[in-house]
Amino acid sequence: MDLQLETHVPLVAMNTFGVAAHAERLVRVHSARDVRLVVDHPQWGALPKLVLGGGSNILITHDPKQLVVKVEIGGMRVLRDDVDAAIIEAGAGVQWHELVRWSLDIGLPGLENLALIPGTVGAAPVQNIGAYGMELADRFDSLDAVDLTTGRMVTLDARACRFGYRDSLFKRELAGKSLITQVRLRLPKPWQPVLGYADLSRHFGKLGHPEPDARQIFDAVCAIRRAKLPDPALLGNAGSFFKNPVVNRTIRNEILQDFPEIVSYPLDDGTFKLAAAWMIDASGWKGKSMGRAAVDARHALVLVNKGGASGEEIKALACAVQRAVAQKFGITLEFEPVVI
Ligand code: EPU
């Protein structure tokens, strides 16, 4: 299929915040070959590019001037199914949740804790998606990406991707410089449940169900997410808007003196992750609106578009929340989505 340049394309349905903006120019890519054709194209090749996946981790505050490259690379397959692990591969444009569901349906569990996370497979490594005791990095094998300057294809393993908490090479050195085309995941065997997260263990404790199977964990994660987080299809949002800040023991102890109830989790390296949702809640911002943007009434980490909010309006709310938390706790919350 020939590549088509679309002009003045509405982006409202292409970002989960549902912010109205327009792309001056947009091209949809369906394969790595398409991406190389864009890079080598006599007119488009030299243009700055904005890669757009499912639009679930982006806040658009103005009409992008770049050439928007919309990733629609499909396909899911099993590459290998051995005694120690299965390797599955998916195109970057596949919906992440579809991959989780498909892998369970074909009898290859291992991604169930990451059910219902909005966004595409290609976006998953960028921010190292994580939930309910599991991160993408825990199941990652490798990915293919195309360099947007040279058109060269690279394959990167987990080490090369430099995953961190909601972080990777693609948010740093490679930000805006490459386009992920395929992602491969490693599902270890025998399958082991991951039930360390409090919400999950509580859920199965209540059911008197200490040894759930993968399908039951999938169902539980879906139910917990549906109960706690607004569905972007119904209320525009990008999941957690802020990262949970990581601080050293001294800072955590200082905060603990003034706020003994603060929720924090010890990390392996001796630092502590503080629950940003708790801090926002304690700052009085949960459920509060500013114009047409609001802090979600059920989960304080999520900012929502109540209808017709602009990206600037949502950003203004985010900055107000950030200031309030900084004033109360002396901690500056970092945004999770990319703001453009
Ligand atoms: N809390 C509050 N007020 C709230 C919400 C939560 O005080 O309005 C408290 C809770 O009581 C809990 C603590 O804050 O003790 C943490 O809340 P939760 O378990 O919901 O997790 P989180 O740290 O707020 C993280 C991820 C979510 C992920 C959940 C479950 C980040 C930035 N967010 O949220 O990821 O689903 O854990 O694993 O790490 C996302 O990235 O978009 C996302 C939704």
CATH 3.90.78.10 domain position(s) in the chain: 236-339
Closest protein CA for atom 24 of ligand 1: 277
> What pLDDT shows up at residue 51?
96
Beta bridge partners of 47: none
- The residues lining ligand 1, judged by C-beta closer than 6 Å to any ligand atom, are 131-132, 197, 199, 228-229, 239-240, 243-244, 263, 275, 277-278, 281, 286, 299-301, 336
Low-confidence ranges of the chain (pLDDT < 50): none
pLDDT of residue 205: 83
Give the pair of three-digit tokens for residue 331. 């901690």
**What pLDDT is attached to residue 207?**
80
What topology is assigned to 76-188 in CATH? 3.30.465
C-alpha span between 210 and 92 (Å, rounded): 35
pTM here?
0.94
- Residue 32, burial from CB neighbour count under 10 angstroms (0-12, 13-18, 19+): buried
CATH code of the domain made up of 236-339: 3.90.78.10
CATH 3.30.465.10 positions along the chain are 76-188
- Give the pLDDT confidence of 54-113 residue by residue, as tens digits: 999 999 999 999 999 999 999 999 999 999 999 999 999 999 999 999 999 999 999 999
Residue pointed to by tokens 């991604």: 111
- Report pLDDT for 268: 87
pLDDT of residue 210: 75
Query: Cα–chain-centroid distance for residue 31?
Result: 22
Structure tokens that stand for 6 in this block:
């679309």
* Closest-lying ligand 1 atom to the alpha carbon of residue 299: 8
Residues 131, 117: contact at Cβ < 8 Å? Answer: yes
The strand ranges marked E within the chain are 5-10, 22-29, 49-52, 58-59, 67-71, 76-81, 85-91, 130-131, 134-135, 140-147, 153-157, 178-188, 236-240, 246-247, 264-266, 272-274, 289-290, 293-295, 302-305, 338-339
Residues of the chain with CATH 3.30.43.10: 5-71
pLDDT of residue 274: 97
* pLDDT at res. 1: 64
Q: Fold for 5-71, please state it.
A: 3.30.43
Instruction: Out of 114, 194, 278, give the residue to mutate to test ligand 1, the one with the largest number of ligand atoms within 8 Å of its CB.
Output: 278
Phi then psi for 261, rounded to 5 degrees?
-90, 0
**Two tokens, residue 227:** 């109960």
Classify residue 298 by its DSSP letter: S
Q: What spacing in Å lies between the alpha carbon of 275 and ligand 1's midpoint?
A: 7
